[in-house]
Structure 1
């Protein structure tokens, strides 16, 4: 009886030690890899911003240097459209809209939640892309909204007039391959340049059109074939973020010229 208990105790002890060692290894690995994961996440974001501003081919393998040369990230207050002047560079680099949205003190619930995000951060980080002469040529604005299965994250590149689209680039989604995942298809992305977000009255008119947009439709882009819910999600996301509860106040204040 005693021998049996001793064997059981040793087994439990051995299991405990193994679990403890594994937990320590996992914790150590997580701590050691975190800086690398953070750097990779930042690099991926910089890559998408350069793609949205048509600088990715120019950058080649020198993503960071090209980003640092041409792109200026700024934090804005979405309600007022003003720049947040006391935002640190670390705050800007590490900004996470969804993390802020989970903090009641840093977010609010939209009155008209077209994008299906539940809560929206009070601030956002935007990207001013300048040419060699220092003039703003592109403004890249992050967007997030519901697709068929989950939230979809992307960037919209606008001309300096803050109305003409240069690009719509999705970076993260869980949509169905061959259907909603066609947001990554170069042929679909090529439909966006030159489209207009607003009409002459300043109303948000950009949308995905089921069955295909007409040739003279400056606001419409072909919907994703067989992916009605994803297409509707993209339309609603764009209409939310370019409306009054998104970038609308910022755009209204800066149509005369960005600095």
Structure 2
């Protein structure tokens, strides 16, 4: 066949497309297991971060909580995982860890299940709740952990899909996440209000006002954080109310 002909060029292009597609498909399939492992490990790492586990002892030395170490130590701290229905009852035969919140949010509330993790760290019990909502440009998500009173925030961790660098993307920074520590999610009357990200906040270090200072220039993202915290936590109220050992009075 004439290598300068259009037919040759066309056939060569088709062969190259098929070969490249096959290579990409093989590579993707080969790496799928590793990719899934990375996602699983990162999820466990984030959950542990919210309860203050950012390092572990290895052979007598403190080491930073890497993804593999998070997986190796997850069961040491996470004592219970349950999936709840809208009435606060435990959904049987549902693996809480495998729940995809992005998919759950597309369902009617009546059909959603709500994962809850119970952790024990240095003799203290914490409850970790996955959260997800909308920022300025796309999805935002994370985890919020509550102390044993189910009112005081132990810690949070946030992530995003496409928030603006230097503005909304700053929700992932430690200095912003640390603002939520020891904040309350119920007001003085026992109503769930979450923690609001407030522009021009002047409360200083007040931990009783259910609010933290916003990120300058990221009002929409901050509002998204406020909304997802309150909205997601609200679905756990039926479960909280059934727990006789919880100290806080909820309405």
Q: Normalising TM by the smaller chain, what interval?
A: 0.7 to 0.9
Pair 1:166–1:173, CA change in 2 (3 A): farther
Of residues 182-191 and 218-227 in structure 1, the stretch that sits farther from structure 2 once superposed is 182-191
Which ranges of structure 1 fall in alignment gaps of 5 or more residues? 111-119
Q: Deviations over 1:108-166 (max 9, x none)?
A: 0x5xxxxxxxxx96112221112366xx6111111011111111011101101111001
Match of 2:74 among 54, 67, 78: 67
Contact kept? 1:146, 1:237, Cα under 8 Å: yes
> C-alpha offsets along residues 48-83 of structure 1, whole Å, 9 cap, x if unaligned?
111101011236342222212111452322401122
1:193 maps onto 2:181 in alignment? yes
Contact kept, 8 Å, 2:184 with 2:207, in 1: the verdict is no
**Could you tell me whether the CA contact under 8 Å between 1:97 and 1:121 is conserved in 2?**
no
TM-score (norm: length of structure 1): 0.80
Shift of residue 4 of structure 1? Answer: 6.8
Partner of 1:14: 12
Mapping of residues 1-259 of structure 1, within 5 Å: 7-58=5-56, 60=64, 61=66, 62-72=69-79, 74-87=81-94, 91-102=95-106, 107-108=107-108, 122-131=112-121, 137-205=125-193, 206-215=195-204, 216=206, 218=208, 219-243=210-234, 246-254=235-243, 256-257=245-246
Note closer, same or farther for the CA distance 1:130–1:121 as it changes in structure 2 (3 Å cut). Answer: farther
Q: Structure 1 pair 228/172, CA: closer, same or farther in 2 (3 Å)? A: closer
Q: TM-score, normalised by structure 2?
A: 0.83
SS at match of 1:55: coil
Conserved in 2, the CA contact under 8 Å of 1:145 and 1:153?
yes
Q: Structure 2: 5+ residue runs without aligned partners?
A: 58-63
* CA distance in structure 2 between the aligned counterparts of 1:100 and 1:209, rounded to whole angstroms: 28
In structure 2, the CA distance between the partners of 1:197 and 1:213, relative to structure 1 (3 Å rule), is farther
SS at match of 2:223: helix
The total of aligned residue pairs comes to 235
CA RMSD of aligned residues (A): 2.6
